Amino acid sequence: MFSYNISSLVVDCEIELPGRLAATSNRPAEITIRSAIVPEALDAPIAVAPTWEMTRDQFLLRVPGVARFLVVGDDTILFDAAATATPADLAIFLAGSVFGVLLHLRGYVVLHASAVRVGACAILFCGASGAGKSTIAAALANRGYPVVTDDICAVTIDPVPIVHPDGRQLKLWREAIDALAMSDKAREAVRPSIRKYYVEPPAADRTPMPIGAIYALREPRPPAVIGIQQLPPAVAAAKLHENAYRPRLVDRLGQAGLYFAAATRIASDAGVYHLTRRRDFASMEQVLRSLERHWDAIGLGGRPA
């Protein structure tokens, strides 16, 4: 068994999860991941989609050519690997899509976001797949800001919104690794078949911390203009739901109210903003400078040494 600390949960996993930092806690495991025979379909599902189905206490996800994954209750993940799957294939889907579903099932506020620490707070960058979340977090890590999460960001509200670090490496496309001059930190490919790689962050933070600000990434398509714009609370609430890791699952699980409560709390305590910028690497330096100015303006100190 390999042991990991993911989103403040101690996870025992039968296979090694590359890109995951090993657990430091001695608590007993809260989640177990192991190989087992997983059925093609579930009996009496309450929701069915082309790749997944759900009953009251089980959730089945089929990734063709990789595995069938079954979440049982809220503490066990079973996987049934396809003949063609490599350990890396299993690991990336277990740690990403499947663990994301588990966090949703456990009632976390799960955001599609990457985050770094500024001062004592987590700064989140959210957006759809391909929006540039990981790239901006990597660029900030290069400047000395510790990485907190990549792609999936688990938040609890108790009563302050707290981010739970995912304890994982960054995942970057070859293009981004080259542009950010991080080849020396690049590790193996996340899957043998795609050109996205685990990247060791120059610095990482693994302690839970409050949210300092959330930025929703977008490009300056009219009428949006380049800059940082604070969202009015109602828009912030809609934006947070839209940037749930899996919005459809939030609705299916009847958690829309939970995200609303989280959003209004975050809008009060931290602030939700649009970060409107060009997605090209040439603009990155300018984007980072405008972020640092913004953190000064909203009182988030802690420029790294």
Residues of this chain that bind another protein (CB under 8 A) = 49-52, 61, 63-65, 92-93, 96-97, 101, 128-131, 151, 173-176, 190-191, 193-196, 219-226, 232-235, 237-238, 241, 246-249, 251, 254, 256-257, 260-261, 263-265, 267-268, 278
Show the DSSP H helices in the chain as ranges. 87-93, 99-105, 133-142, 174-179, 233-242, 247-252, 256-269, 284-297
Q: Which is nearer to another protein, 206 or 274 (CB)?
A: 274
Which one, 217 or 291, has the nearer CB to another protein? 217
DSSP state of 20: B
Residue nearer to another protein on the CB measure, 23 or 240: 240
Between 251 and 296, name the residue whose CB sits nearer to another protein. 251
Answer whether 198's CB lies under 8 Å from 18's CB.
Answer: yes
Which residues are CB-neighbours of 44 under 8 A, at least 6 positions away? 55
Measured in Å, how far apart are the chain's first and last C-alpha atoms?
Answer: 38
Least spacing, CB of residue 32 vs another protein, in Å: 21
Q: 3-state SS of the chain: helix, strand, coil percent to 5?
A: 30, 35, 40
User: Cβ of residue 193: shortest distance to another protein, in angstroms?
Assistant: 5
Q: State the nearest-atom distance from the C-beta of 276 to another protein, in Å.
A: 8
Q: What are phi and psi of 201, to 5 degrees?
A: -70, 140
Q: Which residues of 237-274 are buried (b: 16+ CB within 10 A; e: fewer)?
A: bebbbebbbbeebbeeeebeebbeebbebbbebbbbbb
Quick one: 28 or 130, whose CB is closer to another protein? 130
For residue 45, the minimal CB distance to another protein (Å) is 14
Least Å distance, CB 141 to another protein, is 19
Please state the closest distance from residue 50 (CB atom) to another protein, in A: 4
Beta carbon nearer to another protein, 10 or 72: 72
